[in-house]
């Protein structure tokens, strides 16, 4: 068994965990990351691919809209290699969409998201495959972003600052000393090597597996797991991200990614992040919704379907709601459960992963007595690990 010592262990090699590792390393904190598979093997490698402008959430979730708007601009500066600046359109097809449009524009103005309103004809000049039914469209700075490029860039940066990364090495136990987590045990899937790591703090950035990780140390953490299915079609009939101009609903976004378009998504409760299937009705639903915006979709070849799971969290003291918000939470288990040395970061978006990491690293640094400001918004990511 290898014995290691560090200040912080980060669990999870998705967008959030790798961003936390980078942030801590840049502040001079010794940090080690364990990922059970490869980088971005979880939600990050199986998400929709949309760099949110914030537009989707301006009416439903103002805080997330503001965070996306700010982070969208930061990511364009620090990670241009992971982004395609497609731009985006919110298209209004019917009376209900046109009634939503003024609220949407008001929300964008309040958040500071730049918009341009186009007539249906103007929008079709930009995107000839848009439906003749499109009456108006709003231009927003949406984009397309690659989860793998973001993770490898964060890891390369973190390593430059001295961080260590163990891939294919799942954490199997949180080591407790009384009411405190003091490290982890992990086992390499490659060579069977066992690791026992002593740490002052452990950060749980395991996305939809965060509840399972907490349970490894006897810490209760209840997440609402929510599956989203996406459909990939062969070809790229639109240049921009196309959103339906309405209150966020199922199957109303088309994201161009490379030579394909990705349609999505659905929202279905699940109980196990490793055990779910794409259902036929989800594919039909997504296709039915998106074909209304781009009729050519009806004739396009289906390349593949895939799904991922959102870890949604509702604080115990907040009232029950139909749709759990996409905001993120830094959960200090000392305050919540009386277990020190352990923090979970959950919820949020890939677009806001850097900010989530900043808030997590702020909390960890305050515990460690490290007085170093976040600099992750200033320094560009290197080109891959
Ligand atoms: C269907 C869907 C579509 C989405 N679309 C978008 C979008 O278009 N734009 C956007 O901004 N956001 C989107 N999101 C949200 C975004 O994908 C997530 O916020 C983000 O990817 C979460 O990253 P993460 O690092 O927190 O989690 P993950 O990427 O899931 O990473 C967690 C990691 O923990 C690892 N792990 C699990 N158990 C262990 C263990 N025992 N030991 C070590 N490691 C372990 C997993 O292998 C995994 O790699 C979408 C989410 C879903 C579900």
- The confidence score (pLDDT) of residue 324 equals 59
- Per residue in 256-278, pLDDT (tens digit) is 999 999 999 999 999 999 999 99
Residues with CB under 6 A from ligand 1: 11-17, 34-37, 41-44, 47-50, 52, 170-171, 205-209, 213, 228, 265, 308-310, 348-351
Closest atom, ligand 1, to C-alpha of 213:
41
Mean pLDDT within 332-348: 97
Indicate the class that CATH gives domain 85-144+225-312.
alpha beta
Asked, as a colleague might, if the bond just before 138 is cis with ω within 30 of 0, I would say no
Closest atom, ligand 1, to C-alpha of 229:
1
- The confidence score (pLDDT) of residue 37 equals 98
Closest C-alpha residue for ligand 1 atom 32? 206
d(CA 225, CA 220): 15
Computed over every residue of the chain, the mean pLDDT equals 96
* pLDDT band, very low/low/confident/very high, at 319 (cuts 50, 70, 90): low
Tell me how far the alpha carbon of residue 245 lies from the centroid of ligand 1, in angstroms.
Answer: 26
Delimit the domains of the chain by residue range. Answer: 1-49+146-223+313-385, 85-144+225-312
* pLDDT band, very low/low/confident/very high, at 321 (cuts 50, 70, 90): low
Mean pLDDT within 291-320: 92
Helix axes 353-368, 62-78, angle to 10 degrees: 90
DSSP secondary structure code for residue 179 in this structure? S
DSSP secondary structure code for residue 345 in this structure? E
DSSP H or E run through 62: helix 62-78
- Checking if the pLDDT of 326 tops 80, the result is no
d(CA 70, CA 235): 31
Tell me how far the alpha carbon of residue 7 lies from the centroid of ligand 1, in angstroms.
Answer: 24
**Reduced to 3 states, what is the DSSP secondary structure of residue 363?**
helix
Tell me how far the alpha carbon of residue 215 lies from the centroid of ligand 1, in angstroms.
Answer: 19
Q: Which of 209, 224, 264 to mutate to test the pocket of ligand 1 (most atoms within 8 A of CB)?
A: 209
Report the predicted TM-score, pTM, of the whole model to 2 decimal places. Answer: 0.97
1-49+146-223+313-385, CATH topology level:
FAD/NAD(P)-binding domain (3.50.50)
Tell me how far the alpha carbon of residue 272 lies from the centroid of ligand 1, in angstroms.
Answer: 14
- Per residue in 38-47, pLDDT (tens digit) is 999 999 999 9
188: tokens are 């390499």
Same fold, 1-49+146-223+313-385 and 85-144+225-312: no
- 300 bridge partner residues: none
Measuring CA to CA, which residue among 47, 2, 4, 1 is closest to residue 228?
A: 47
Closest C-alpha residue for ligand 1 atom 42? 170
Question: For strand 342-347 and strand 194-204, is the pairing parallel, antiparallel, or unpaired?
Answer: parallel
Question: For strand 31-34 and strand 164-166, is the pairing parallel, antiparallel, or unpaired?
Answer: parallel
């Amino acid at each position: 068994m290898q014995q290691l010592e560090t200040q912080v262990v980060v669990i999870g090699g998705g967008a959030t965990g790798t961003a936390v590792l980078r942030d801590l390393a840049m502040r001079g904190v010794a940090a080690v990351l364990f990922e059970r598979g490869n980088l971005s093997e979880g939600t990050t490698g199986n998400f929709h691919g949309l760099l949110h402008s914030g537009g989707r959430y301006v009416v439903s979730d103002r805080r997330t809209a503001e965070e996306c708007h700010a982070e969208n601009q930061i990511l364009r500066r620090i990670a241009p290699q992971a982004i395609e600046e497609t731009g985006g359109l919110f298209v209004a097809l019917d009376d209900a969409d046109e009634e939503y449009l003024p609220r949407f524009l008001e929300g964008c103005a309040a958040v500071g998201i730049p918009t341009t309103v186009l007539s249906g004809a103007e929008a079709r000049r930009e995107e000839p495959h848009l439906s003749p039914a499109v009456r108006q469209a709003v231009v927003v700075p949406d984009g397309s972003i690659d989860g793998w490029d973001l993770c490898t860039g964060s890891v390369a940066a973190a390593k430059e600052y001295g961080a260590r990364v163990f891939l294919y090495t799942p954490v199997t136990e949180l080591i407790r000393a009384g009411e405190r987590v003091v490290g982890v045990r992990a086992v390499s899937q490659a060579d069977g090597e066992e690791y026992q790591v002593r740490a002052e703090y452990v950060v749980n950035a395991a996305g939809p597996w965060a509840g399972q990780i907490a349970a490894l140390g006897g810490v209760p953490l209840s997440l609402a797991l929510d599956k989203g299915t996406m459909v990939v079609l062969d070809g790229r009939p639109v240049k921009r991200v196309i959103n339906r101009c309405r209150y966020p609903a199922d199957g109303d976004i088309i994201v161009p990614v490379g030579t394909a378009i990705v349609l999505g998504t659905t929202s279905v409760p699940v109980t196990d992040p490793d055990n779910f299937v794409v259902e036929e009705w989800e594919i039909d639903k997504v296709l039915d919704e998106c074909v209304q915006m781009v009729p050519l979709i009806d004739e396009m070849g289906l390349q593949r379907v895939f799904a991922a799971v959102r870890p949604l969290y509702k604080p115990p003291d907040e009232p029950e709601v139909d749709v759990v918000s996409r905001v993120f939470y830094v959960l200090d288990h000392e305050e919540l459960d009386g277990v020190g040395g352990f923090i979970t970061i959950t919820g949020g978006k890939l677009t806001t992963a850097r900010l989530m990491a900043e808030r997590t690293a702020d909390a960890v640094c305050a515990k460690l007595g490290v007085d170093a400001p976040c600099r992750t918004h200033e320094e560009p990511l290197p080109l891959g690990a």
